[in-house]
Amino acid sequence: MDLVRYTLRRVFLSAFVVVGVTFLVFVVAQVVPSDPAALYAGPRPTAEQIAKARVTLDLDAPLPQRFVSFATAMGTGDFGVSYKSRRLISQDLRVYLPATLELAIFSTFLALLLGIPAGVIAAARRGSWLDRIGSLGSILSVAMPTFFFAMLLQLVFSQWLGILPLAGRLSQQISISDPLPFLTGFNLIDAVTAARPAVFLDALAHLILPALTLAAYPAGIAMRLTRAAMIEILARRHIVAARALGLSAPRILFGHALPNAVGPALTVIGLSFAYALTGAVLVEIIFAWPGLGRYVSEAILSKDFPVIAAATLVVTLCYVMMNLVIDLTQTLVDPRVALT
Amino acid sequence: MRCATVKGASAVTLLEIQGLSVTIPSALGPVQAVRSIDLCIARGEIHGLIGESGCGKTMTGMALLGLTPAYAQVAARVIEFDGVDISNSAADLRGRRIALISQDPAAALNPVLTIGRQMDDVLRTHSSNSKAHRAATAVALLAATGLADAPQLMKRYPHQLSGGMQQRVVIAQALATGADFLIADEPTTALDVTVGAQVLALLRKLVVDRGLTVLMITHDMDVVAAVCDRATVLYAGLSVETGPASAILTHPRHPYAAALLAALPDAAPRGQRLAAIGGQIPPSTETISGCAFSPRCPAVMALCHTMSPPARGAGNHRWLCHLAQCAP
Ligand SMILES: Nc1ncnc2c1ncn2[C@@H]1O[C@H](COP(=O)(O)OP(=O)(O)OP(=O)(O)O)[C@@H](O)[C@H]1O
Ligand code: SF4
Ligand SMILES: [Mg+2]
Beta-carbon neighbour count of residue A145 at 10 Å? 10
Nearest ligand 2 atom to the CA of B292 is 4
pTM for the predicted model, two decimal places: 0.79
Beta-carbon neighbour count of residue A328 at 10 Å? 15
Model pLDDT, residue A163? 84
* Gap between the Cα atoms of A79 and A89, Å rounded: 6
Using the Cβ of A263 and the Cβ atoms of chain B, whether some distance falls under 8 Å is answered with no
B122 CA distance to ligand 1 middle (Å): 27
Model pLDDT, residue B203? 93
- Look up the ipTM and state it: 0.84
Contact list in B for residue A253 (CB cut-off 8 A) is none
* B3–chain A nearest CA distance, Å: 27
Residue A293, C-beta contacts closer than 8 angstroms, at least 6 positions apart: A100, A280, A281, A282, A283, A284, A285
pLDDT in tens, A255-290: 999 888 888 888 888 888 888 888 888 899 999 889
Q: In a structure prediction context, what are the per-residue pLDDT tens digits for chain B, which is 328 residues long?
A: 456 554 454 578 999 999 999 999 988 889 999 999 999 999 999 999 999 899 999 999 999 998 898 889 999 999 999 988 988 877 788 888 999 998 788 899 999 899 999 999 999 998 888 999 999 999 999 999 999 899 999 999 999 999 999 999 999 999 999 999 999 999 988 888 888 999 999 999 999 999 999 999 998 898 999 999 999 999 999 999 999 999 999 989 999 998 888 876 553 455 554 445 677 888 888 888 889 999 998 888 999 999 999 989 888 899 999 987 654 4
Which amino acid residue places its CA nearest to atom 13 of ligand 1? B33
CB contact at 8 A, B268 and B247: no
Q: Which of A83, A29, A26 is nearest to A54 (CA)?
A: A83
Domains and CATH numbers, chain A: 98-339 (1.10.3720.10)
pLDDT in tens, A141-199: 888 888 888 899 989 888 899 888 888 888 777 777 777 778 788 888 888 888 888 88
B324 CA distance to ligand 2 middle (Å): 10
A240 CA distance to ligand 1 middle (Å): 15
For residue A248, give the chain B residue with the closest CA.
B125
Q: SS3 of B20, please?
A: strand
- Which of B64, B89, B97, B112 to mutate: most A Cβ within 10 Å? B112
Report, as ranges of residue numbers, the positions in chain A whose pLDDT lies below 50.
340
CB contact at 8 A, B216 and B188: no
Contact list in A for residue B96 (CB cut-off 8 A) is 246
For residue A247, give the chain B residue with the closest CA.
B125
Which amino acid residue places its CA nearest to atom 31 of ligand 1? B54
CB contact at 8 A, B38 and B15: no
B131 CA distance to ligand 1 middle (Å): 39
Q: Which residues 164-183 in chain B show a CB within 8 A of chain A?
A: 170, 173-174, 176-177
CB contact at 8 A, A290 and A96: yes
